[in-house]
Amino acid sequence: MKKKASAPPDQVDQRLLDHYGRYAAEPAPNLVDELLWFMLSTRTTVTTCELVFQEFKAAFPKQESVLTASLEALAQPLRPSGFSMRRASDIQKSWQLLKERFGSITLEPLRTMTVQEAEACLVALPGVGIKVARCFLQFGLLAPVFAVDTHIWRISQRLGWIPDQKGGAPKQKLVDAIQALVPLNDRLSLHVNMIFLGRDFCTASAPDCAQCPLADLCPTACR
């Protein structure tokens, strides 16, 4: 049986722009807060992430106070997200490394680095993997990278962009392949719109192919 062709990335991008629109990026986010948010976003929901982010900022409004607080104190506002002691340790160690490298707890120097240099700086921090680093680069610096979350990973397989991987975490080689494949223009909007698609139509267990805006492009859509 002849294999169906994968969905053209540029057409997917345009179809999702037509359906969801273009993402309005925040013009000048606080970079340290941006990294904190994405560090807290792993293995939890957006709602819980936002809750613990706000609670953490209320408890430690000054970045320097994170360095002198006990791990128990840092973990307290993070408890709803789970892994609170690990998260607290990662944040404190990361903030310490930033201060040692840049003289203060800042990520502003990343603005003058190449994308590769900035990504390498980020993934060297505890609790910052490639997904968190690229989310930060996309949203914080509007860099031309493409972060892959669980929705985008699943959709990329269904669209035929990468081979179907049964179980396990996203493989770095294939994550890089997705980034190389998608259009360079406004990757942030495509990232956000694919997440919306994963929540609205291309769900993990019961995809709504009949209503999906990509149904005629997707080689695995149920017709």
Residue with the bigger pLDDT between 1 and 10: it is: 10
141-176: per-residue pLDDT in tens?
A: 999 999 999 999 999 999 999 998 776 666 889 999
164-208: per-residue pLDDT in tens?
A: 877 666 688 999 999 999 999 899 999 999 999 999 999 999 999
What is the value of pTM for the model shown? 0.90
How many whole angstroms separate alpha carbon 207 and alpha carbon 23?
Answer: 24
pLDDT at 2: 46
